[in-house]
Structure 1
Amino acid sequence: MKLATIRIHDATRAVRIDGDTAVDLGESDLVHFLRHVDWPARATAADGERYEGPLDYAPVVVAPEKVVCVGLNYRHHIMEMGRELPQHPTLFSKYARALVGAYDDVILPASSTQVDWEAELAVVIGAEVRHADPEQARAAIAGYTVLNDVTARDWQFRTPQWHQGKTFEATTPVGPWLVTADDPAVAARGLSLACEVDGDTVQKADTGDLVFDPATLVAYVSGIVTLAPGDVIATGTPGGVGHACNQARYL
């Protein structure tokens, strides 16, 4: 099942995607919708107003409480960046204003000349969870989406802390939709991931190359903070970023 947040008449609505049609779920966005404990049943049974395509996709989650990102989580990417495999996840955060819809323009920071791409699988939380074990962590995942952690490398590497290069406003497309965790499309252990720039495939990987899988990340982060419905965990990017090319390439 695919869920999304779309823009309608200067507002947003949470919807279920049925082919080219969106079915209203009765809430303004997915963050509010996922706060219903019985959201899976509500999503399946929804028979609200229908919106025909083309659809204007907002960020799949609008103003989530937290966006937690993971660095150095694909083995190939870790090697291309000249680092050792981590013993613990490397975490940083984004602010909600960094997020844009999947088909929105990315606003390149005027103060950066080294803006890079990072295609990622992202986890969306569907139930409040704290100090989760692996089973509880898996159960707390509403589903998965796609995120591009567009990064200002010259700002990222100004200090050992990456945050300042990662959260420029309107730089992070997320969506267009959330695929629920029970959907056959995401039931497989490995999911393919690719990124194209100007028609060139610059990243191509399988999530089986992750060092820390989604459930492990949910459990780890929930040991630090309570994860709430609508929170996002970006699971890291594979090899092929522009900064690591023999001749660096930027957006």
Structure 2
Amino acid sequence: MVARDRALDLSEVAELGAPSRTVDLLDRWQESLPVLETLAASTQGWVPLGGLQVHSPVEPRQIFQAGANYRTHVIEIAAAQHDGSDGRTVEQVRADAAARLDGRGRQPPFVFQGLPSAICGAFDDVVLPYDGTQPDWELELAAVIGRLARRVTPDEALGVVAGWTIVNDLTLRERVFGANGGRMGADWVSAKNSPTFLPTGPVLVPRAAVPDPGDLQITLRLNAQVMQDQSTKDMLVDVARILAHCSSVATLLPGDLVLTGSPAGNGLAHGRLLREGDVMDAQITGLGAQRNRCVREERPAPR
């Protein structure tokens, strides 16, 4: 457990069942939370956080990712991908995209699944695949599930959340509609799941500490230059409806991550994608901050 600049080892706390992983706490979240609150006020056993390596705060069994869920982001991407072949101006493309979004908030969200093997820590290096050409960032608010949930309503949905964390949902843009994607739809598995493409954390912040997930600022800087800086107010489908939708499709398990989409300001829209040596600094109101340096994957030697 982290409080300010201190950390407390929970693995020998009998009241918590001596957990070895965060999911052990999340499996008994309602019973664990009062114990954690008591421990947060204690003075014994704490060590300086600065001497520890920070890993992802969760090891989810399932990852649900909402796409195209910020109004300005959708309009930006439509403009960035327009090649002019249909005779429309960029302004017309933006206007057409905005018109298509009318009423989108009343429709189900667009959600796909990610792989837990893509997760890394909030301060780990991000490895850019040697055969990737368009690596991009997508900073997102993520909900961490705190109890088994199936077919919850939007009014009930926030009640299944244990807490919130930061996830940078990196993407190889060229793979979304490349190769098989051109014929069979978007290839989110290839585009989204390279190792280290989901920097997560640094912490899981309990739900009560973030009273309104619909009013948080999401900010990402690339080499100290602001690229994303927008409020979660710009979501097309709010967090509760995303969670309810996911629970209508599958059973949500304690520790699962539900990503809620990325705001405007991705690299594709800026015309500046990730390169070796880049540093991403990312933060969301009340959830801490990430710093990830980009390194290039070594090309394997020919066989």
Report TM bin, short chain: 0.7 to 0.9
Q: How does 1:36-51 map to 2 (within 5 A)?
A: 36=28, 37-46=30-39, 49-51=45-47
Q: Within 2, Cα distance between the matches of 1:169 and 1:188?
A: 28
Q: Cα RMSD over matched residues?
A: 1.7
> 1:17-69: CA deviations, max 9, x gaps?
1221112233222222110141211221336843322131111212x110110
Greater Cα shift, 159-168 or 196-205: 159-168
- Asked if the contact 1:25–1:43 (Cα under 8 Å) also holds between the matched residues in 2, the reply is no
Q: Within 2, Cα distance between the matches of 1:250 and 1:52?
A: 33
Q: How does 1:147-226 map to 2 (within 5 A)?
A: 147-158=167-178, 159=181, 160-161=185-186, 162-183=188-209, 185-187=210-212, 189-226=214-251
Task: Verify: 1:74 aligned to 2:59, yes or no.
Answer: no
SS at structure 1 position matched to 2:158: helix
Normalised to the residue count of structure 1, the TM-score between the two structures is 0.87
Task: Verify: 1:32 aligned to 2:24, yes or no.
Answer: yes
Q: How does 1:101-180 map to 2 (within 5 A)?
A: 101-158=121-178, 159=181, 160-161=185-186, 162-180=188-206
What is the count of residue pairs matched by the alignment? 233
Q: Within 1, Cα distance between the matches of 2:201 and 2:195?
A: 17
Q: Within 1, Cα distance between the matches of 2:22 and 2:240?
A: 21
Q: How does 1:58-69 map to 2 (within 5 A)?
A: 58-62=55-59, 64-69=60-65
**Residue 227 of structure 1 is aligned with which of 224, 242, 252?**
252
Aligned residues with identical type, % of pairs: 33
* Paired amino acid for 1:32: D
Q: Within 1, Cα distance between the matches of 2:37 and 2:25?
A: 13
Q: CA deviation at 1:121?
A: 0.6
Normalised to the residue count of structure 2, the TM-score between the two structures is 0.73
Q: CA deviation at 1:186?
A: 4.3
Q: Within 2, Cα distance between the matches of 1:218 and 1:188?
A: 13
* Paired amino acid for 2:70: Y
> 1:150-198: CA deviations, max 9, x gaps?
1111112211222320111122101001111101x44464000011111
Greater Cα shift, 48-57 or 139-148: 48-57
Partner of 2:284: none
Q: Within 1, Cα distance between the matches of 2:57 and 2:34?
A: 19
- Asked if the contact 2:213–2:239 (Cα under 8 Å) also holds between the matched residues in 1, the reply is no
Q: Within 1, Cα distance between the matches of 2:56 and 2:149?
A: 23
Q: Within 1, Cα distance between the matches of 2:45 and 2:161?
A: 27
* Paired amino acid for 2:72: H
* Paired amino acid for 1:17: V
**Runs (4+) of structure 1 moved beyond 4 Å?**
none
SS at structure 1 position matched to 2:208: coil
- Asked if the contact 1:102–1:173 (Cα under 8 Å) also holds between the matched residues in 2, the reply is yes
Flag the structure with higher helix content: 2
Partner of 1:249: 273
Q: Within 1, Cα distance between the matches of 2:129 and 2:197?
A: 8
SS at structure 2 position matched to 1:91: strand
SS at structure 1 position matched to 2:141: strand
> 1:87-115: CA deviations, max 9, x gaps?
32111111111000000111111110110
Gaps of 5+ in 2: 12-18, 79-96, 276-303
* Paired amino acid for 1:177: V
Q: CA deviation at 1:236?
A: 0.5
Q: Within 1, Cα distance between the matches of 2:255 and 2:55?
A: 14
Of the two, which has the highest radius of gyration?
2
Q: CA deviation at 1:241?
A: 0.6
